[in-house]
Structures are given as C-alpha cells and as structure tokens.
Structure 1
C-alpha cells in the first residue's frame, strides 16, 4: 500500500525540482548562429537571422599611416554608418579588410554606440592593421549583431544557454 502513495507523489516532486532550477542540467543548451553574408551595406541581424531594423554601411576606406604611429606604415582607415540604430545601445558588427577573393586580412568590431551624428545618422571611423596592406581590395561588414552574447551553459548552468552570435571572423576566413 505504501508503493502507490510514493508513485502518486512523484509528479509533484518532479514539478518542485523543475521549478527550483534543479532540472537545468538537462535543459541548458548552447547554439551558435550561422554567419550572415558580408557586404559593404548590410541589414544587421539578431542571432535568429531576423533583421533588427538597422543597416550598417562602409562609406569609404583608404590606406594611410595612422597619425599616432606613422612609422608603422599604412593601415586601413575606414568610415562607417549605422542607420536606424539607438545611439546609446545599438548593435555591433564586425568589419574586415578583405582581398579580391574576399579573404579576411584583418577584422575588428564596430559599435553603433561609438558612432555619432545628427538626426540618427550614426557615423564613425576606425583602423584595421593588416600584414599586407597592398592586398586590401575592400572593407566588408558582417551583419550579425555582436553587441550581446549571453552566458553559456558552461559559464552558468542555470541562467546560461541559448543562441549565440557566430564566432567573429579571423584572418584567413572566406567572407
């Protein structure tokens, strides 16, 4: 007679464990989004590939010495613009100098919150240090929002997990 009572109480014990977070080890999963198509002008996407209503664009670039270290030779000086972004907490995208085959020669993250301008036209400039500046054929932006990457299951089994932005592009990546 004791056995049926134990079985009858099992669902409520499981419910208490699930609500208390004790079931997290079985539910926490991490997934990484696929990298979006790089371009000179991109629609910034969240980790699900949905547009955020923000565009990012490389509006120009040139090779020149950085004014603070001119003796180090040419670097890639590029200008960018974010349209539709919130200047205080907008998205971030990776910018990469590429060769004529669209192979990354150097990359860095640019944030809408670091850009400035009137009427929501957020513009900025930055520098890319590349080993062979003479090989640079352009600067591309990768549309994946890199401004927020939630904690992983490994970092926080209870509150971590979910979709994460793709890994940033590195030298040698085909874009």
Structure 2
C-alpha cells in the first residue's frame, strides 16, 4: 500500500509536467527571409519593414592588414549608416563577393562602429579576411538588421521563440 503523501504529491507532479509540455508547444522559432544584398541598402527589421536607416559601402580596397601584414592582402572597406542612432542602431552583414555574387567572406558590422573620424562621423571601417582576395569583385551589404537576435526555443522554452534575423551567409553562398 502506498503512503498518503505519494497520493498528495502525484497530482502536483502531473500539473508541473503538463504545464512544461504546454509551454514548449507554444514556443516557435522562425527566421526572416534574407533581403537582396547591395552596395547601398535600406535596413529592415525581421518582418521586412524599413527602419529608416540606410547602410552603404563607401569604398573598399585590397591591402595588408596593419596588424598582420604577413597575411597578405585583405579586404579593407569603409561603410556608412545614415539615420542610425549612435548607441542603439542596427547592424548588417557585409560580404566580399566575386563577380558572380558568391560570398568569399562575411561579417556583421554595426552602426555603432560608424561614428568615426570628425571629417565624416557617420562612417566606419573594417576588414574582411578572404582566402583569395584577388577574386573579390565587390563588398555588399545585406539589409536585414542583425543587431538583435532573441533567445531561441532551444535555449529558453518559456521566453524564447519568435522571428530571428537570417544567418550570416557562409562562404560559397550566392547573394
């Protein structure tokens, strides 16, 4: 015969299991569709709505990185964010591509990096390391805002889920 305590605790345990199961059913992750890359883009949120910010590649060139010149030429590019807030603005993926728009290397650049020199305080610069710099035909920006990527269902079933920005393109992806 089972003690009375088991019968008292059993309903509580079933309620906890049932609630845990219900919360996981409501958590869904979705990924925004990647926007069309360009030299100048209107930054959009995860729902594809414009944020009122334009990001642009000002220029780029191949040259050795000053901290690791032995690595040879890398892609040094300047970018500009118009309409962004200095402290809480968006971020976009910047990709070096070949003439067929195949990515050779990508990374995220933030508008907070673009509050630089006094002669043009909306510009910033960064470097893209690529395996074959001689193949670089352009540096393109992807318009999807990468500044906020909330918790996923896998990490936090209770508070996770929702729309997430698209993943940064992998080397070899076509833009």
- Partner residue in 2 for 1:69: 68
Q: Quick one: distance in 2 between partners of 1:95 and 1:76?
A: 11
After superposition, the C-alpha distances for 1:117-164 in whole angstroms (9 at most, x for unaligned) are 569952100011111111000000000101110101111111100000
TM-score (norm 2): 0.85
Query: What is the SS of the residue equivalent to 2:70?
Result: helix
- Partner residue in 1 for 2:89: 90
After superposition, the C-alpha distances for 1:69-122 in whole angstroms (9 at most, x for unaligned) are 111110000000000001101111000000000000011110011221569952
What is the count of residue pairs matched by the alignment? Answer: 157
* Structure 2 segments unaligned to the other structure (5+ residues): 1-15
After superposition, the C-alpha distances for 1:22-77 in whole angstroms (9 at most, x for unaligned) are 74222111100110000000000100000010010000000011111111110000
Q: Quick one: distance in 2 between partners of 1:141 and 1:68?
A: 25
Runs of 4+ in structure 1 deviating by more than 6 angstroms, as ranges, are none
* Structure 1 segments unaligned to the other structure (5+ residues): 1-16
Q: Quick one: distance in 2 between partners of 1:23 and 1:119?
A: 56
Q: Does 1:78 align with 2:102?
A: no
Query: What is the SS of the residue equivalent to 1:96?
Result: strand
Query: What is the SS of the residue equivalent to 2:25?
Result: helix
- Partner residue in 1 for 2:104: 105
Residues 157 and 86 (structure 1), Cα distance of their counterparts in 2 relative to 1, 3 Å cut: same
Q: Quick one: distance in 2 between partners of 1:135 and 1:94?
A: 19
Aligned pairs for 1:14-93 (under 5 A) are: 23-93=22-92
- Partner residue in 1 for 2:173: 173
Q: Quick one: distance in 2 between partners of 1:119 and 1:48?
A: 35
Query: What is the SS of the residue equivalent to 1:114?
Result: helix
TM-score (norm 1): 0.85
